């Protein structure tokens, strides 16, 4: 239940955070097939959101996850398909009491007495990728993924490779009928596919005379990801090489429904040659439903495929129609999820992996154990706090589970009381030996090495040359990877030394005189870079493009920044939080001190930015890279950024705060913000009472609504262009 002491403001803030978090995890799961959290953790977020919305119905957001299904398919190479009938998701239950509540709700809604018959179908819920098959006049004419429920991806050519899916239906089938189900991969096929990918990587490494690093071989995390990745291929020959299966569980648009009950129609779909659940059963009571759930659960480990629960559906179709839908799910159906399967094993070691942003992630290496039909050898330990909570050390006996049947996690430390020293989380990066720190209020420990850390270096270099940073044309990701592997690029300064390698670059496959000269010319053009872009390109945590510009407005000369960062570091060391201070008062004092030191009054400059600068420049490695690149005096580095000057003009928005929202059609968002600054305005990222003007393009959402509520002036992009033109 939602905390009874929660205020409306606190509830609104939590709903905002939940909407953003759930949207992100929806995108990772549905659009990228790369979940970061377990099904249980995701369901807990959704439940918390539902609890808050039930208590504060007037705070339900336009972007509430209770209104959404799946995730939009933007960025996919496949063409889009609009579903004639929306593909819905299902509400979940985890306890038998919740199933009983579901049955009771259905009875109340239909005004059925306790003695009146009410039947439900029950079938195992296979864990795959939702797919809709549209048949017209008996011919398969289109197949599409669910996407966000309204728009999916066209995978017609790919499902033609799946033997379970007939290309034609028998005579007598409706003129139009959409079969809906799941594309999945069996466990043995999944393991074989990952084995094949590993072998292909080994052969490629041998051909290059290199040692294979198994950790760098791209493999699928689980059968669902393998199925999704295989079906959503632009090249259908790749799909054809993957052993995919299909399982029907319902239907969408239909010119005629061949039956009066769920059970009858599913039987008919099976007769047409489409696989349906062998455990589909008609249940006439709650007791039968729960008994079937327990029976399927007991046998799930012996199945050749992954299931994660049982789905109940009201059998009579006329009652389904009366019950209808709520937001994203039908009232007449429920998914009863299984608890995660567990097993015992030994934690043999704890390894620390360093991500591209410097995050240190502990990974437990396990004695191999079979969990839910899959051999588990690794388990994420998440972060330093999670290790402390579990009290795990190498040598401990632990209980693990595949949460949501996907991501292995430690449930319990069975030998916590054994006489062994506690595990000490590293205080320095295992890759570059820079200091590893956790920012105040965060649980993640990060390497401060940044520019010199091997685990982060190539990603930092790619960011350094990206469009928002130095924007060096011709130096793309593949080129950086190639030059880094050759030992030519170790730090940003090395980019400006590539002119000495002209002949070596020319000797590489694919490079010609013109392409090499164009690249070197692009690099030379950035030897006097815009200081704010240069600062942003260094990838210092919390220093984004806008923050970099705010910092340079105050400092003017970028060479002053290391000294200012040292002052912040010294102030933080000499002025710790006093016993009489609350955390809020301490932070407020620190913010004022940081702004005074940095000579900037921008709203976005606070403790996060100040401490990030202090930590970055406190590292000898980072200072060495900085001086190599820029130098302490003009002309001392390989680049020579001029003083940062913000040219402003008299304009109708001088001194005002402007926010841009929606899709800008004639310029990028960065260009718009730069225009605002040149006109003497402040470009902000969110709407507040301090906002003077909102420039709204197509697709404007919550910011436009808030501006209307606050009475803020709103103009379109054309009107903004007139303001810019008038200032010329």
- What are the residue ranges spanned by the domains of the chain? 8-68, 92-337, 342-413, 531-629, 657-727
Three-class secondary structure of residue 20 per DSSP: helix
Mean pLDDT, residues 583-600 taken together: 87
Give the span between the Cα atoms of 243 and 604, in whole angstroms.
52
Q: What are 36-63's pLDDT values in tens digits? A: 666 666 777 887 887 787 777 666 676 6
Give the span between the Cα atoms of 88 and 200, in whole angstroms.
39
pLDDT exceeds cutoff 60 at 72? no
Backbone angles phi, psi at 365, to 5 degrees: -100, 125
Give the span between the Cα atoms of 377 and 383, in whole angstroms.
19
Is 598 in contact with 610 (CB distance < 8 Å)? yes
> What pLDDT sits at residue 648?
61
> What pLDDT sits at residue 405?
45
Is 341 in contact with 402 (CB distance < 8 Å)? yes
Mean pLDDT, residues 295-312 taken together: 89
Least confident among 190-199, 339-348, 426-435, 595-604 = 595-604
Is 139 in contact with 94 (CB distance < 8 Å)? no
Give the span between the Cα atoms of 658 and 600, in whole angstroms.
19
Sign of the torsion angle spanned by Cα atoms 416, 420, 423, 427: positive
More confident residue, 270 or 343: 270
pLDDT exceeds cutoff 50 at 526? yes
Give the span between the Cα atoms of 258 and 267, in whole angstroms.
10
Identify the burial level of 533 via C-beta atoms within 10 angstroms of its C-beta, where 0-12 means exposed, 13-18 middle and 19 or more buried.
buried
> What pLDDT sits at residue 440?
66
Q: Which distant-in-sequence residues (6+ apart) come within 8 Å of 597 by Cβ? A: 564, 567, 568, 571, 610
Backbone angles phi, psi at 432, to 5 degrees: -125, -5
> What pLDDT sits at residue 406?
54
The CATH code that applies to domain 92-337 is 3.30.470.30
Size of the chain, expressed as the number of residues it contains: 728
> What pLDDT sits at residue 414?
94
Give the span between the Cα atoms of 20 and 432, in whole angstroms.
34
Least confident among 3-12, 69-78, 587-596 = 69-78
pLDDT exceeds cutoff 70 at 112? yes
CA Rg, the chain, in Å? 29
More confident residue, 130 or 671: 130
Task: Count CB-CB contacts under 10 A for residue 684.
Answer: 20
The CATH code that applies to domain 657-727 is 3.40.50.10190
Rounded to the nearest 5 degrees, what angle is found at the Cα of 233, between the Cα atoms of 509 and 270? 160
Give the span between the Cα atoms of 44 and 65, in whole angstroms.
13
Q: What is the largest CA-CA distance in the chain?
A: 90
Sign of the torsion angle spanned by Cα atoms 45, 46, 50, 53: positive
Is 173 in contact with 200 (CB distance < 8 Å)? no
> What pLDDT sits at residue 74?
43
Q: How many CA atoms lie less than 13 Å away from 335 in the CB half-sphere? A: 20
pTM score of the predicted model: 0.49
Eight-class DSSP state of 160:
T
Residue whose pair of structure tokens reads 């690029």 in the numeric block = 489
Q: What are 701-721's pLDDT values in tens digits? A: 888 888 888 999 999 888 998
Rounded to the nearest 5 degrees, what angle is found at the Cα of 437, between the Cα atoms of 431 and 438? 130
Give the span between the Cα atoms of 307 and 292, in whole angstroms.
14
Three-class secondary structure of residue 488 per DSSP: coil
Q: How far apart are the first and last CA of the chain?
A: 58
Give the span between the Cα atoms of 590 and 577, in whole angstroms.
9
Eight-class DSSP state of 29:
I
Catalogue the E-assigned strands of 22-175.
80-82, 92-93, 120-126, 129-136, 139-145, 151-153
Give the span between the Cα atoms of 452 and 624, in whole angstroms.
10
Give the span between the Cα atoms of 571 and 575, in whole angstroms.
6
Rounded to the nearest 5 degrees, what angle is found at the Cα of 428, between the Cα atoms of 424 and 431? 115
Catalytically annotated residues: 125
Give the span between the Cα atoms of 719 and 725, in whole angstroms.
10
Task: Count CB-CB contacts under 10 A for residue 402.
Answer: 23
pLDDT exceeds cutoff 80 at 670? no
Tokens of 625: 């890279």
Give the span between the Cα atoms of 432 and 339, in whole angstroms.
41
Tokens of 237: 């020959």
CATH number for domain 8-68, candidates 1.10.3720.10, 3.30.70.2660, 3.40.50.10330, 1.10.287.610: 1.10.287.610
Tokens of 281: 């059963």
pLDDT-derived band at 173, boundaries 50, 70, 90? very high
Eight-class DSSP state of 383:
S
What would be the CATH architecture of the domain defined by 342-413? Beta Barrel (2.40)
Identify the burial level of 114 via C-beta atoms within 10 angstroms of its C-beta, where 0-12 means exposed, 13-18 middle and 19 or more buried.
exposed
Eight-class DSSP state of 697:
-
Is 301 in contact with 308 (CB distance < 8 Å)? no
pLDDT, mean over the chain: 86
346-352 LR contacts (CB < 8 Å, sep 24+): 346/395, 346/396, 346/397, 346/398, 347/392, 347/393, 347/394, 347/395, 347/396, 347/397, 347/398, 347/410, 348/394, 348/395, 349/394, 350/381, 350/387, 350/392, 350/393, 350/394, 350/423, 352/426, 352/430
Tokens of 292: 């079937």
Task: Count CB-CB contacts under 10 A for residue 596.
Answer: 12
pLDDT exceeds cutoff 70 at 77? no
pLDDT exceeds cutoff 80 at 300? yes
Adjacency order of strands within the sheet including 657-661: 682-684, 657-661, 693-696, 713-715
Tokens of 382: 């998440």
Give the span between the Cα atoms of 49 and 27, in whole angstroms.
18
More confident residue, 656 or 220: 656
Give the span between the Cα atoms of 625 and 594, in whole angstroms.
24
Give the span between the Cα atoms of 183 and 248, in whole angstroms.
9
The DSSP result for 278-291, as a single string, is TT-EEESSHHHHHH
pLDDT exceeds cutoff 60 at 75? no
Tokens of 552: 């340079």
Is 687 in contact with 707 (CB distance < 8 Å)? yes
Report which secondary-structure segment, H or E, holds 707.
helix 702-710
Strand 436-437 relative to strand 407-413, pairing: unpaired
Q: Which residues of 480-494 are buried (b: 16+ CB within 10 A; e: fewer)?
A: bebbbeeebbbbbbb
More confident residue, 347 or 468: 347
């Amino acid at each position: 239940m939602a905390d009874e002491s929660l205020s409306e403001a606190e509830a609104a803030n939590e709903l905002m955070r939940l909407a953003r978090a759930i949207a992100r995890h929806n995108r990772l799961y549905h659009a990228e097939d790369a979940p970061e959290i377990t099904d249980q953790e995701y369901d807990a977020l959704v439940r918390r959101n539902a609890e808050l919305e039930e208590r504060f119905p007037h705070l339900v957001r336009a972007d509430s996850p209770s209104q959404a299904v799946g995730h939009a398919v933007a960025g996919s190479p496949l063409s889009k398909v609009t579903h004639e009938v929306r593909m819905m998701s299902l509400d979940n239950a985890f306890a038998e009491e919740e199933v009983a509540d579901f049955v009771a709700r259905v009875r109340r809604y239909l005004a059925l007495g306790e003695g009146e018959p009410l039947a439900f179908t029950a079938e195992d819920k296979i864990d795959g990728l939702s797919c809709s098959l549209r048949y017209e006049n008996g011919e398969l004419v289109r197949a599409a993924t669910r996407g966000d429920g309204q728009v999916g991806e066209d995978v017609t050519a790919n499902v033609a490779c799946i033997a379970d899916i007939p290309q034609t239906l028998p005579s007598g089938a409706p003129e139009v009928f959409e079969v809906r189900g799941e594309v999945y991969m069996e466990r043995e096929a999944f393991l074989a596919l990952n084995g094949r990918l590993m072998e292909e990587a080994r052969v490629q490494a041998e051909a290059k005379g290199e040692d294979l690093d198994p950790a760098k071989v791209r493999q699928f995390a689980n059968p669902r990801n393998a199925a999704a990745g295989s079906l959503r291929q632009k090249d259908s020959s790749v799909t054809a090489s993957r052993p995919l299966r299909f399982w029907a569980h319902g239907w969408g648009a239909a010119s005629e429904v061949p039956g009066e009950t769920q059970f009858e129609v599913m039987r008919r779909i099976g007769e047409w040659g489409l696989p349906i659940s062998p455990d589909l059963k008609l249940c006439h009571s709650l007791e039968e439903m729960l008994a079937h759930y327990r029976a399927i659960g007991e046998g799930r480990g012996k199945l050749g495929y992954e299931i994660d629960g049982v789905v109940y559906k009201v059998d009579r179709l006329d009652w389904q129609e009366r019950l209808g839908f709520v937001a994203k799910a039908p009232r007449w159906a429920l998914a009863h999820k299984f608890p995660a399967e567990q097993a015992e094993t030994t934690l043999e070691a704890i390894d620390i992996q360093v991500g591209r942003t410097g995050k240190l992630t502990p990974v437990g290496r396990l004695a191999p154990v079979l969990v839910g039909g899959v051999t588990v050898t690794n388990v994420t330990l998440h972060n330093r706090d999670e290790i402390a909570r579990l009290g795990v050390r190498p040598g401990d006996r632990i209980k693990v589970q595949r949460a949501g049947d996907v991501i292995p996690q430690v449930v319990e430390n069975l030998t916590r009381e054994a006489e062994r020293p506690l595990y000490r989380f590293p205080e320095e990066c295992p890759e570059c030996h820079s200091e590893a720190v956790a920012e105040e209020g965060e649980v993640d420990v990060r390497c401060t090495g940044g520019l010199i850390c091997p685990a982060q270096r190539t990603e930092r270099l790619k960011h350094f040359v990206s469009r928002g940073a130095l924007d060096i044309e011709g130096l793309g990701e593949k080129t950086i990877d190639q030059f880094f592997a050759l030992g030519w690029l170790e730090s940003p300064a090395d980019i400006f030394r590539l002119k000495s390698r002209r002949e070596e670059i020319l000797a590489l496959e694919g490079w010609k005189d013109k392409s090499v000269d164009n690249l070197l010319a692009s690099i030379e053009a950035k030897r006097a870079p815009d200081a704010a872009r240069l600062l942003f390109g260094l990838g210092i945590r919390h220093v984004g493009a806008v923050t970099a510009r705010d910092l340079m407005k105050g400092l003017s000369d970028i060479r002053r920044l290391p000294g200012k960062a040292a002052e912040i570091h010294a102030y933080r060391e000499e002025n710790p939080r006093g016993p009489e201070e609350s955390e809020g008062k301490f932070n407020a004092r620190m913010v004022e001190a940081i702004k005074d030191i940095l000579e900037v009054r921008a709203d976005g400059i606070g403790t996060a930015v100040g401490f990030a600068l202090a930590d970055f420049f406190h590292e000898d490695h980072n200072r060495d890279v900085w001086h190599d690149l820029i130098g302490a005096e003009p002309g001392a580095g390989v680049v020579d950024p001029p003083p940062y000057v913000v040219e402003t003009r008299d304009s109708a928005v001088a001194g005002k705060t402007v926010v841009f929202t929606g899709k800008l059609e004639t310029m990028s968002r960065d260009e718009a913000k730069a225009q605002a600054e040149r006109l003497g305005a402040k470009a902000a990222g969110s709407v507040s009472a301090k906002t003077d003007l909102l420039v709204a393009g197509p697709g404007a959402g919550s910011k436009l609504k808030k501006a209307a509520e606050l009475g803020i002036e709103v103009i379109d992009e054309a009107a903004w262009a007139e303001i810019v033109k008038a200032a010329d």
